[in-house]
Amino acid sequence: MKAGDLVSVYSDIEGKCKRGAKEFQGVKVFLGNGISALSRSEIFSSSGPLNGMGIRMTEPVYLSPSFDSVLPSHLFLQNLPSVVVSHILNPQPGERILDMCAAPGGKATHLATLMHDQGEVIAMDKIATKVKKIKQNAELLQLNCIKAFCYDGTRALSVEKREDEQEGPPFLPESFDRILLDAPCSGMGQRPNMAYSATLKEVTSYQPLQRKLFTVVLKLLKPGGVLVYSTCTITLSENEEQVAWALKTFPYLQLQPQEPHIGGEGMRGAGLSLDQLKLLQRFDPSAVTLQGMDINSLQDSREDDLISLANKDCIGFFIAKFIKSNSE
């Protein structure tokens, strides 16, 4: 291969292709055709990591343009359900909001924007590099009401009043008006995702962690406050089963309608009633089929149908909204 050659690009799904191999019979997915900007020898004789453009795609399978670094101080790219979840929490100017697992800060910055940067958004994550990213995004978008802290969410509740007047965690009970728990999860709804490498043990480890975090945030929430629980996965155990568990364990919790409600209703199998399932919101990319549709058939579609199709063709995601009644 020389610079300027027409080449086809594939994704090595299992990561088994050897460096410099001249042929590969493993599992792969075609991504499109392009023009090579480098020769084969330039790619493989390099001792350090390559950067810059290797192939200019001329016939990509996926037609979405790249929005990386486009107006970064004005635009923050998010998947549709991630945008919806902040509107469902519906934070108000002057309130104190907790985003429990906030990295990289997309939802936290959206919440602050919805509040007109008035009030306080506490953004927490247990990994320092991720907290640094939250602070960078808040600064880039010129939002001053976000305060980011590196802290383990399972330990965010303080059992006794502290003397130091410190604004960071742990926090006293009933400290927040609204809380977003976008919980750590198995991430099976993420797209594009050519392969999934987590073991069954890893997938099943998330439910107990989510319940620990849920128990903590409930104690941090004021009576009458709103809690939104969300995940970017599609499993019953991390979504509807968690809602059923929460309603049984905490009788002072009430499921609430969601606005906007763009996704489908909850999945059966966790013991929730049909009315309760209608209060949940599940985005399921497998529910929309674009295979076999050509541009002509899309052009003949009604605008409303196209918008509905686009709204459903997103990542897998789950949202539940609760209100904490005044008496526990």
In CATH, what number is assigned to the domain containing residue 215? 3.40.50.150
Residue 16 lies in a domain: yes
Same domain, 158 and 27: no
Q: How many CA atoms lie less than 13 Å away from 44 in the CB half-sphere?
A: 10
Q: In the structure encoding, which two tokens stand for residue 54, read together? A: 């290797």
What pLDDT score does 34 carry? 95
Rounded to 5 degrees, φ, ψ at 130 are -70, -35
For residue 73, is it within any domain? no
Q: Is 81 annotated as a binding residue?
A: no
- Compute the Cα dihedral for 265, 271, 274, 280 and give only its sign: negative
User: Is 68 a member of any domain?
Assistant: no
**177: annotated binding-site residue?**
no
152 and 107 co-located in one domain: yes
Q: What angle do CA 167, 172, 176 make, to 5 degrees?
A: 80
Residue 74 covered by a domain: no
Residue 97 belongs to some domain of the structure? yes
Domain-located, residue 75: no
Q: Judge if 124 and 233 occupy the same domain.
A: yes
Measured CA to CA, the distance from residue 200 to residue 151 in angstroms comes to 27
Q: Has 102 been labeled as part of a binding site?
A: yes
Q: 217 with 313, same domain?
A: yes
Helix (H, G, I), strand (E, B) or coil at 274: helix
The residues assigned a catalytic role are 232
Closest CA to 178 of 99, 265, 84: 99
User: Are 168 and 19 found together in one domain?
Assistant: no
Which residue has tokens 């209060």?
Answer: 279
Query: In order along the chain (328 residues), what is the average pLDDT of each group of 10 residues?
Result: 93 84 87 92 76 87 75 84 96 97 93 97 94 93 95 90 74 95 93 79 93 96 97 95 97 96 92 96 76 61 75 87 84
Tally of CB atoms within 10 A around 93 = 11
Q: 92 and 224 share a domain? A: yes
* Domain-embedded: residue 70: no
156 and 283 assigned to the same domain: yes
Residues 48 and 125 in one domain: no
Please count the other Cβ atoms lying within 10 Å of the Cβ belonging to residue 327: 7
Q: Are residues 198 and 283 in the same domain?
A: yes
Q: Is 133 annotated as a binding residue?
A: no
Could you give the number of structural domains in the chain?
Answer: 2
Mark whether 236 and 311 lie in a shared domain.
yes
Instruction: Please give the structure tokens belonging to residue 197.
Output: 């490498």
Q: Based on the domain organization, do 170 and 223 belong to the same domain?
A: yes
- Does 107 belong to an annotated binding site? yes
Rounded distance between C-alpha atoms, residue 78 and residue 74, angstroms: 13
220 conformational bin, left if phi > 0, alpha if psi -120 to 50, beta if neither: alpha
- The answer on whether 106 is annotated among ligand-binding residues is yes
Per-residue confidence (pLDDT) for residue 290, from 0 to 100 = 54
Domain that holds residue 170: 80-324
Could you tell me if residue 71 is inside a domain?
no
252 and 152 in one domain? yes
Those residues with Cβ within 8 angstroms of residue 102's Cβ, 6 or more apart along the chain or in another chain: 108, 123, 124, 125, 134, 148, 182
In Å, what is the CA distance from 123 to each residue of 29, 34, 139, 146, 249?
38, 42, 14, 7, 27
Instruction: Tell the residue number behind the tokens 């903590």, with chain if given.
Output: 216
Instruction: Tell me what pLDDT residue 223 has.
Output: 95
